[in-house]
Structure 1
């Protein structure tokens, strides 16, 4: 989990622009906006909706979409040390500010209607109310929602992240398009080393919409100005932070309708493994048997001190890797798959199995602690930005000279955005030497070696 404070110096808009944020690709013009296509925006605190998606709200309304803002908390914990305002005072104030801001956003947008309601959940503790939020979002999706908009699921703020996770899960389940807007990510992230944002999209704003959005943001006075001159009432959102939301565009992470990413992995694959103990026929398939033989023959060492296998499934390959490792950690998103993996590796005391969805649930591993990382047949279940993040995490845990093995099916994987070829092309962005390259009609296998020098590691 990222740790930061709003008092920290913000990564400036100039730094982001120099890295290319101004040139991100445009959002597809085929977004489901217009009469009959309702938009649901799920936000944690009043001002999230305006800063992150005020321009989108205006464009949706102008296109004829009805927009509903589901506000989960009233933001009453924004000034915990205020000597002039109680949490109850702040809740009422911020609800009034939201109404004023949304009123500004509706000026000259007569086609669609804008509505909102509060769930009244505790600010800063939304993860404890996950089921309640999920139920509320589910109810709105059933009412002909064509687009869900939420805070980014890796924004660094716990409230923002749980809403993004819920939105991602339900958008995948109902095959609804999803837009996630970063807020604090712009504040703490380093655009030179964190590559996720390079896969996102811009929504250009007309100058009138840009000006109206800034006027709406100014209505959130409790956040953009001091409550009073007393200590504890200081301005929460500094000018450097707010500058990220005064640009002639907004940035969104876009998941098209019908497409899934890691946010759906646990539910999708656990259901699959509970229906079929071996859905890909790992045990008996000649293809799987031959692929494992080639994989094991491609490894550059007979023995590895420490191995990390991501996507270990029911543990068939894990059992073979165990014979060539001193310690092995197998990770999978599906608890049902891991139940079988434990049986298939029961005679290997040095194997540890972990239920986690990567990259977001990355296990706590010491830096430079592994000799081999294996990613087989799971790269296309991640979106491109998630795969970039995963590769960065792998770079941190591999020892100098350690190996990264990738092996993927080369045919289309229905419902997921990446192909096996694209997975390997993204991995080449690491710039690491290739030790093994094997391609045939059905799959591609490559082994990359982490450079020996720290300066060569991203």
Structure 2
């Protein structure tokens, strides 16, 4: 299981389940020192658990399920896929075999933590929740509507929402493609119905370290597990033998969950990411700060191509779309903000007489210099407070705007406009799906650009995954009109 979140430029690194991962001893110490607030579930009357694959619900939330089930709370479990792609190279188990095995494991596991729980098996493609988000959205919405309608009237409190219904779902920042898609759908569906939401990390304990900027410490809460709850969770996890032990001794049948990974789920607590309350609007929420240089220094450590610029077709295609959007064949002076390792920079250099490329971190700049050489000038700057001198007839903001807090994003756009020549062009391209640790979304960045009266949109390209805008000083005149063709 080599996993990634979203499969593209969403700022997520690939992780490999075969790696040793972060030790549980390190996490245990950090969790103790953090003194996380307790998760308040006293007023929950119906718990709905969403799992991307059979065993996610056990790993991340079996203690919560057992705790509430012992209190008489109704439990419904929605399992999006059958997990039939867990062993793609198995010589002994076909995907159909794995469906039968993993469904049986799931039902036995749930029987240990919540006898009588309702189970919905959606059988969506394993590894394909992003492409089937609409089907997951409809199915989960129907379950929540039923739970909300049948829950005790007027029970609102703790993290429970309308009718005391609480949804527990995979954390969308878990760096697993299906977990990310499931978490995003859960957020959307819960918000639209006023249902409380908590998210459970699974793979974060493996790929992250306690000091990783991606860990949402400010939104974590813990649930203490008593002896019976820990025992029930351990028994449930033991039922998932297809994941915790080898299917056979043959290559391709190795266990998916290693010993250190399993230790993360033998804690006396479960940890959840608590969603922003339904009554708190984004405008009321405190501004999130611009990501610091340390975030990027840590991210690039030991990684030559962390975004997959050189290997992913998604990235190659998006670069082609970006370059095709340029309204002129050549520019006099270009500026690329957030050049990273210089893959796009190399192609922009072919279209500019001079090109300045800036980044906040030293490691990617070193790689960019090696790639592009003297075809561009590279500067390490903490934009927007630091800015290169001169004016530019092309400014490229590719996958960078969502790293800024609201004030710095506004300042960035001010800087861009101030340094833009009268005939200048701004090209902005950003990932659209939410990333937990980023201060803004791609759509927020483009909305901020569009709100400027001193910029006019010349072109727009919209996909589910990314948004691309070409902006100029008003009025915007089309390429064909400028060429006298229209």
Q: Distance in 1 between matches of 2:196 and 2:449?
A: 33
Displacement of 1:32 after TM fit?
3.6
Q: Which runs of 5+ in 1 are unaligned?
A: 108-112, 266-297, 364-458
Displacement of 1:229 after TM fit?
1.2
Corresponding residue of 1:76: 84
Picking from 178, 191, 202, the partner of 1:159 is 178
Corresponding residue of 2:224: 204
Structure 2 residue 66 is the aligned partner of structure 1 residue 58: yes
What whole-Å deviation, never above 9, does each CA across 1:71-124 have from its counterpart, x for those lacking one? 0111111111111110000010000000110111136xxxxx411021111111
Corresponding residue of 1:143: 146
Corresponding residue of 1:97: 105
Q: Distance in 2 between matches of 1:209 and 1:5?
A: 30
Displacement of 1:17 after TM fit?
2.3
Structure 2 residue 127 is the aligned partner of structure 1 residue 124: yes
Q: Distance in 2 between matches of 1:174 and 1:105?
A: 27
Give the number of equivalent residue pairs.
Answer: 315
Structure 2 residue 270 is the aligned partner of structure 1 residue 250: yes
Q: Distance in 1 between matches of 2:405 and 2:466?
A: 13
The question of whether the paired residues in 2 share the 8 Å contact of 1:177 and 1:256 is answered with no
TM-score (norm: length of structure 2) = 0.57
Q: Distance in 1 between matches of 2:93 and 2:226?
A: 37
Corresponding residue of 2:20: 9
**What SS does the corresponding residue of 1:183 show, helix, strand or coil?**
coil
127 and 59 in structure 1: CA distance in 2 versus 1, 3 angstrom threshold: same
Q: Distance in 2 between matches of 1:61 and 1:304?
A: 65
Q: Distance in 1 between matches of 2:274 and 2:256?
A: 29
Q: Distance in 2 between matches of 1:38 and 1:201?
A: 20
Picking from 185, 189, 192, the partner of 1:173 is 192
Decide which moves more: 81-90 or 193-202. 193-202
CA RMSD of aligned residues (A): 3.7
TM-score (norm: length of structure 1) = 0.61
The question of whether the paired residues in 2 share the 8 Å contact of 1:46 and 1:98 is answered with yes
Decide which moves more: 252-261 or 163-172. 252-261
What whole-Å deviation, never above 9, does each CA across 1:368-415 have from its counterpart, x for those lacking one? xxxxxxxxxxxxxxxxxxxxxxxxxxxxxxxxxxxxxxxxxxxxxxxx
Q: Distance in 2 between matches of 1:46 and 1:23?
A: 31
Displacement of 1:231 after TM fit?
1.3
Structure-to-structure mapping, 1:52-451, within 5 angstroms? 52-106=60-114, 113-145=116-148, 146-194=165-213, 196-199=215-218, 200-255=220-275, 257-259=277-279, 320-325=414-419, 333=443, 337=447, 340-341=450-451, 344-346=454-456
Q: Which runs of 5+ in 2 are unaligned?
A: 1-11, 149-164, 286-383, 431-441, 469-486
What whole-Å deviation, never above 9, does each CA across 1:45-92 have from its counterpart, x for those lacking one? 111001100000011112222111100111111111111110000010
The question of whether the paired residues in 1 share the 8 Å contact of 2:244 and 2:256 is answered with yes
80 and 30 in structure 1: CA distance in 2 versus 1, 3 angstrom threshold: closer
The question of whether the paired residues in 1 share the 8 Å contact of 2:449 and 2:455 is answered with no
301 and 163 in structure 1: CA distance in 2 versus 1, 3 angstrom threshold: closer
